[in-house]
Amino acid sequence: MRNDILTRRKFLEKTSVGLAAVSVASKAGAVPGNPNVLAVKGGTPVRTKDFPTWPQTNELDEANILKSLRNHRWCTFDGEFIPQFEKAWAERLKVGGCVITPCGTHALHTALEILGIGPGDEVLVSPYTYIATLDTIMLCYALPVFVDSDLKTFQLDPDDIEHRITEHTRAILPVHIFGGAAHMDKVLAIAEKHHLPVIEDACQGHMAEWRGKKIGTLGTVGCFSFQETKNLPAGEAGALVSNHEDLIAKALAFRDFGRSPKAGGGYATRGTKYRISDFAAAVLMAQLTRFDPISALREANAAYLREGLKSVPGVALQESYPESGRHNYYCFGLRYDRAQFSGASREQFIKALNAEGIPIGAGYTPLNKEPFIEENLNSRGFRAIYSPERLDKYRKQNHYPRNDELCATSMYLSQQVLIGSKQDVDDVVEGFAKVQKNAAML
């Protein structure tokens, strides 16, 4: 998967291209009506009906937007819905404070800035993530030092963290990937031992839990995304949460050019403009009212899908650590074992399953190998900060074999297959089973 596909509308476009191809194949197919021939080879697809779309709206989203529009209080300072949402989200998470930002990327950037992370610093981070997690670190002229991945859970391997800590390490940044939790007991224990703050990338983890606490609230700060594919969508928006009052105050100042929230405080600190208009918060307040029932449906269908896929050889499901609680299933993660599919490649499998009408995609690519890393390291800014020896050392350690394996084998089903009926889920299982049984045809 290209990393932008997972979270962007392109996934839907890609899927509908796949579905369009299905109808052509089934009409022109050599053996129409034969359910034992793979659709990619001209057989009848398991499914031609669309899965539910996401995001979803109703009259309340419309009414809230109209209300915001008509009250002419559109900006961060006087918007009606922004403070409502910041309060509501903090209450939902049981966390001290929440600061809304234009997106999750900006929440992460704010977190790094308010924790003083900058040139010369190293941040320990998951490599199996969306590009935003890393971009923000490098924007601060800090080095993302990756921690290898845990193949079973797709999270950063908690036992691979500590030996990577150096005198330059300034934070640990676990990503709760697909809505499952990173191993927070181990992350927090290491952080405490080494006096490091923890920035949780909870951009995919709305209301997911670790030992009964909401993820995003266990570390020093947590960052959320409300981009349109997320479980709590608003088009584009994000939030930073924390139990540290001083950090909430710093985040408020940072998003407003460093202006002190106190009257007459002036521009006391470094900052930028990460304020948003009220419309996104108007949508968020509406989406919040439906969050629980949709989440319950998504999670019940995910459990049902897990059961169903147990009978399909060669497909390993993303696991959760026993200590974690709720997995929110932003995405349903799986790993592919080609040996169980007559040697067919993961890409052939994905193509075949898409042709059956099931929207599946490949997981993240190894971000540590993307050209932007070298481009940053070779830039004037990085070369001014880091010695050639330090950059060489960084390059030499930039090998993460388990993450490579995870990237080569992982796949995901988007939440669309989990927010409809049990029949939708049955179709997914049937699609997997059909492709598995007939893999020799690929």
Ligand X SMILES: Cc1ncc(COP(=O)(O)O)c(C=O)c1O
Please report whether residue 415 would count as binding ligand X according to CB under 6 A.
no
Please report whether residue 221 would count as binding ligand X according to CB under 6 A.
no
- Spatial neighbors of 179 by CB under 8 A, at least 6 apart, are 204, 205, 206, 208, 231, 327, 328, 329, 330, 331
Q: Which is nearer to ligand X, 173 or 249 (CB)?
A: 173
Applying CB under 6 A, among 61, 150, 201, 356 the residue interacting with ligand X is 201
Please report whether residue 203 would count as binding ligand X according to CB under 6 A.
yes
Least distance (Å) between residue 172 CB and ligand X: 15
Look at residue 65 and give its three-state secondary structure. Answer: helix
Please report whether residue 22 would count as binding ligand X according to CB under 6 A.
no
Please report whether residue 99 would count as binding ligand X according to CB under 6 A.
no
Sheet order of strands, 360-362 included: 315-317, 331-336, 410-414, 360-362
φ, ψ for residue 246, nearest 5 deg = -65, -35
Max Cα–Cα distance, the chain, nearest Å:
77
Please report whether residue 318 would count as binding ligand X according to CB under 6 A.
no
Look at residue 191 and give its three-state secondary structure. Answer: helix
Q: Which is nearer to ligand X, 110 or 376 (CB)?
A: 110
Pairwise CA distance, residues 5 & 2, whole Å: 6
Could you please report the per-residue DSSP string of 20-53?
Answer: HHHHHHHHH-SSTT-TTS-GGGTS--S--SPPPP
Rounded to 10°, the helix 278-309/81-93 angle is: 30
Q: Which is nearer to ligand X, 45 or 238 (CB)?
A: 238
Please report whether residue 234 would count as binding ligand X according to CB under 6 A.
no
Q: What is the CA radius of gyration of the chain?
A: 23
Q: Which residue type, as a one-letter code, is found at position 255? A: R
Please report whether residue 7 would count as binding ligand X according to CB under 6 A.
yes
Q: Which is nearer to ligand X, 230 or 250 (CB)?
A: 230
| CB contact at 8 A, 189 and 158 | no
Please report whether residue 129 would count as binding ligand X according to CB under 6 A.
yes
Least distance (Å) between residue 432 CB and ligand X: 25
Size of the site for ligand X (CB under 6 A): 15
Least distance (Å) between residue 138 CB and ligand X: 14
Q: Which is nearer to ligand X, 39 or 145 (CB)?
A: 145
Q: Which stretch binds ligand X (CB under 6 A): 30-38, 66-74, 127-135, 316-324?
A: 127-135
- Residue number, nearest CB to ligand X: 104
Look at residue 63 and give its three-state secondary structure. Answer: helix
Burial of 384 (0-12, 13-18, 19+ CB in 10 A): exposed
Pairwise CA distance, residues 144 & 122, whole Å: 6
Least distance (Å) between residue 108 CB and ligand X: 6
Instruction: Read off the tokens for 179.
Output: 């809505």
Least distance (Å) between residue 224 CB and ligand X: 8
Please report whether residue 153 would count as binding ligand X according to CB under 6 A.
no
Applying CB under 6 A, among 227, 318, 354, 410 the residue interacting with ligand X is 227
Q: Which is nearer to ligand X, 7 or 403 (CB)?
A: 7
Applying CB under 6 A, among 18, 43, 79, 104 the residue interacting with ligand X is 104
Q: Which is nearer to ligand X, 7 or 414 (CB)?
A: 7
User: How far lies 429's CA from each of 5, 178, 195, 276, 357, in Å?
Assistant: 23, 20, 47, 42, 12
Pairwise CA distance, residues 442 & 439, whole Å: 5
Least distance (Å) between residue 375 CB and ligand X: 20
Please report whether residue 238 would count as binding ligand X according to CB under 6 A.
yes
Q: Which is nearer to ligand X, 19 or 239 (CB)?
A: 239
Q: Which helix (H) or strand (E) holds 413?
A: strand 410-414
Applying CB under 6 A, among 133, 242, 301, 415 the residue interacting with ligand X is 133
Applying CB under 6 A, among 175, 184, 208, 283 the residue interacting with ligand X is 175
Least distance (Å) between residue 199 CB and ligand X: 11
Least distance (Å) between residue 130 CB and ligand X: 4
Please report whether residue 110 would count as binding ligand X according to CB under 6 A.
no
- List of residues contacting ligand X (CB under 6 A): 7, 103-105, 129-130, 132-133, 175, 201, 203-204, 225, 227, 238
